[in-house]
């Protein structure tokens, strides 16, 4: 039975990299029935909304989607499609593996860790009060009465909700992911020494959940500032990092930098029974339609999708094919060359072709 998957090309460089990923996952021999749906600029033109209900409905029905990046229009009143998708489908876990590949110029080598970021609350909840408004002044007065903490009258305020429900859910997800992927340790990252209530709650929740996995998966918790330094100095100390929304956002970019940048950083947003696979990078509009950017992050997101679908052997073959192309360093895009103006750099499509060519070679070897 072919896997039914919603395919959302996205906009900007989205369609190019999403198509590259689609061709590569198909080349593993796994059968798909794609349900292609639009979001982003094309959807604004056709439906006057960047996230049409029929696209959402398709993901709800198929339960798996692969999506190219989507531009957030500035000043047109549209919210980020990416954030809206996560909210509408309750995709509470953002999973971002960071792995070193030979041949990719990077500040660190031998990195192999996964960031599991809580997706639904924290300062990202968007509960904000602008400076100078009556409601903000009332809030400041109320807070000053309750806490005796001085707050400047011209302050803007953002609210950071951290719940036991969401914290236990994401930490449980991280431990289950560890078991499913043969990972040995979970590190919970917080700033509980300063934010004793919110981060303290997250820390306590992670310790409670960890106790249930004792003997199967190791556990530690660390402060986010110390973790940032240790990630740079000793990235191999980390296996799975589970953390709140904002820290996860920052640490996953730090880790993407460690392994060579956005061009090679895949990701997934996962909820109960629904998963959307997408690169960490955005729609890089200035490169749109040029067949220039690196498809690796999207292809590796496709590899994660194969794992999620239980297609472990094809996923391994795809990963090995990508690794071989990167290691050889010949049919790779400009950003993977030592000199970014290297005329031997190939385009998005040709790099995907090289991965497909590798896959075919391994398929021949397997069948012999
Ligand atoms: P971006 O990731 O699109 O691009 C930043 C820079 O990174 C690019 O100019 C390019 O130099 C480099 N880059 C990104 N992807 C690359 C690739 N595959 N190969 C080679 N180089 C690559 O970030 P941005 O410019 O901040 O955002 C552009 C738009 O994308 C915004 O509208 C933003 O909201 C949106 N965005 C979408 C998603 C998503 O769809 N999940 C994620 C992040 C940003």
Q: Is the CB of 332 under 6 A from ligand 1?
A: no
Ligand 1 atom 40: residue of nearest CA: 69
Tokens (6 digits) for 255: 């880790």
CA distances from 281 to 21, 256, 329 (A): 14, 10, 21
CB-based contact 248:117 (threshold 8 Å): yes
Tokens (6 digits) for 74: 């500035």
Mutate to test the pocket of ligand 1, among 10, 71, 282, 337 (most ligand atoms within 8 A of CB): 282
Please write the tens of the pLDDT for every residue from 207-222.
999 999 999 999 999 9
Rounded to the nearest whole angstrom, what is the distance from the C-alpha of residue 246 to the centroid of ligand 1? 18
Q: Is the CB of 278 under 6 A from ligand 1?
A: yes
Q: Is the CB of 69 under 6 A from ligand 1?
A: yes
pLDDT for the residue numbered 75: 63
Break the chain down into helix, strand, coil percent, rounded to 5: 50, 15, 35
The pair phi, psi for residue 188, each rounded to 5°, is -90, 130
| Domains in the chain, CATH or no CATH each | 1-92+264-368 (3.40.718.10), 107-121+162-258 (3.40.50), 124-159 (no CATH)
Of the pLDDT bands very low, low, confident and very high (cuts 50, 70, 90), residue 368 is: very low
pLDDT for the residue numbered 76: 62
Please write the tens of the pLDDT for every residue from 29-71.
999 999 999 999 899 999 999 999 999 999 999 999 999 999 9
Rounded to the nearest whole angstrom, what is the distance from the C-alpha of residue 287 to the centroid of ligand 1? 10
pLDDT for the residue numbered 183: 97
Rounded to the nearest whole angstrom, what is the distance from the C-alpha of residue 166 to the centroid of ligand 1? 28
Of the pLDDT bands very low, low, confident and very high (cuts 50, 70, 90), residue 82 is: confident
Q: Is the CB of 335 under 6 A from ligand 1?
A: yes
Q: What is the C-alpha to C-alpha distance for residues 65 and 277, in angstroms, rounded to an integer?
A: 6
Q: Is the CB of 81 under 6 A from ligand 1?
A: no
pTM (predicted TM-score): 0.93
Active-site residue, 225 included: yes
Rounded to the nearest whole angstrom, what is the distance from the C-alpha of residue 74 to the centroid of ligand 1? 14
Q: What is the C-alpha to C-alpha distance for residues 333 and 297, in angstroms, rounded to an integer?
A: 12
pLDDT for the residue numbered 208: 98
Q: Catalytic one among 11, 92, 191, 292? A: 191
Predicted confidence (pLDDT) at residue 116 exceeds the cutoff of 70? yes
Of the pLDDT bands very low, low, confident and very high (cuts 50, 70, 90), residue 356 is: very high
Q: What is the DSSP letter of 2?
A: P
**What residues contact 347, with CB distance under 8 A and at least 6 apart?**
290, 291, 292, 333
pLDDT average, residue stretch 352-361: 95
Rounded to the nearest whole angstrom, what is the distance from the C-alpha of residue 29 to the centroid of ligand 1? 30
CA distances from 262 to 259, 291, 337, 347, 355 (A): 9, 17, 14, 17, 19
Please write the tens of the pLDDT for every residue from 287-307.
999 999 999 999 999 999 999
pLDDT for the residue numbered 99: 96
pLDDT for the residue numbered 77: 65
Beta carbons within 10 angstroms of residue 339's beta carbon: 9
Which stretch of DSSP H or E encloses residue 56?
helix 53-62
Name the least confident of 228-232, 341-345, 364-368. Answer: 364-368
For 148-192, where are the alpha helices, taking DSSP H only? 164-180
Tokens (6 digits) for 101: 């590949």
Active-site residue, 191 included: yes
Active-site residue, 67 included: no
CA distances from 185 to 154, 201, 202 (A): 45, 21, 18
Determine the distance from the C-alpha atom of residue 365 to the mean position of all C-alpha atoms in its chain, rounded to a whole number: 33
The whole-chain average pLDDT of the chain stands at: 95
CB-based contact 183:240 (threshold 8 Å): yes
């Amino acid at each position: 039975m072919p896997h039914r998957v919603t395919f959302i090309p996205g906009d900007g460089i989205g369609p190019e990299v999403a198509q590259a990923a689609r061709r590569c996952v198909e080349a593993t021999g796994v059968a798909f029935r794609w349900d292609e749906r639009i979001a982003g600029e094309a959807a604004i033109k056709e439906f006057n909304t960047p996230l049409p209900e029929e696209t959402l409905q398709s993901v709800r029905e198929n339960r798996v989607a692969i999506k190219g990046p989507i531009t957030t229009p500035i000043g047109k009143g549209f919210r980020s499609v990416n954030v809206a998708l996560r909210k509408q489908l309750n995709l509470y876990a953002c999973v971002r593996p960071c792995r070193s590949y030979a041949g990719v110029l990077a500040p660190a080598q031998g990195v192999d860790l996964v960031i599991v970021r809580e997706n639904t609350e924290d300062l990202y909840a968007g509960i904000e009060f602008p400076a100078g408004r009556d409601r903000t002044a009332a809030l400041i007065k109320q807070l000053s009465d309750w806490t005796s903490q001085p707050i400047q009258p011209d302050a803007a305020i953002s609210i950071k909700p951290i719940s036991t429900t969401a914290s236990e859910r994401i930490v449980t997800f991280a431990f289950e992911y560890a078991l499913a992927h043969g990972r040995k340790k979970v590190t919970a990252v917080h700033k509980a020494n300063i934010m004793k209530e919110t981060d303290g709650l997250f820390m306590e929740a992670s310790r409670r959940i960890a106790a249930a996995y004792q003997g199967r998966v190791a556990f530690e918790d660390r402060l986010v500032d110390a973790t940032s330094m240790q990630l740079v100095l000793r990235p191999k100390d980390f296996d799975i990092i589970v953390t709140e929304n904002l820290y996860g956002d920052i640490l996953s970019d730090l880790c993407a930098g460690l392994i060579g940048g956005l061009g090679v950083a895949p990701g997934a947003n996962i909820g109960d029974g629904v998963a959307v696979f997408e690169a960490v990078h955005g729609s890089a509009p200035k490169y749109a339609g040029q067949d220039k950017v690196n498809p690796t992050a999207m292809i590796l997101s496709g590899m994660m999708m194969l794992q999620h679908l239980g297609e472990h052997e094809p996923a391994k073959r795809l990963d090995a094919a990508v690794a071989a192309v990167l290691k050889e360093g010949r049919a790779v895009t400009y950003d993977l060359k030592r000199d970014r103006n290297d005329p031997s750099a190939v385009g998005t499509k040709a790099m995907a072709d090289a991965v497909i060519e590798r896959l075919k070679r391994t398929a021949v070897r397997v069948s012999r």
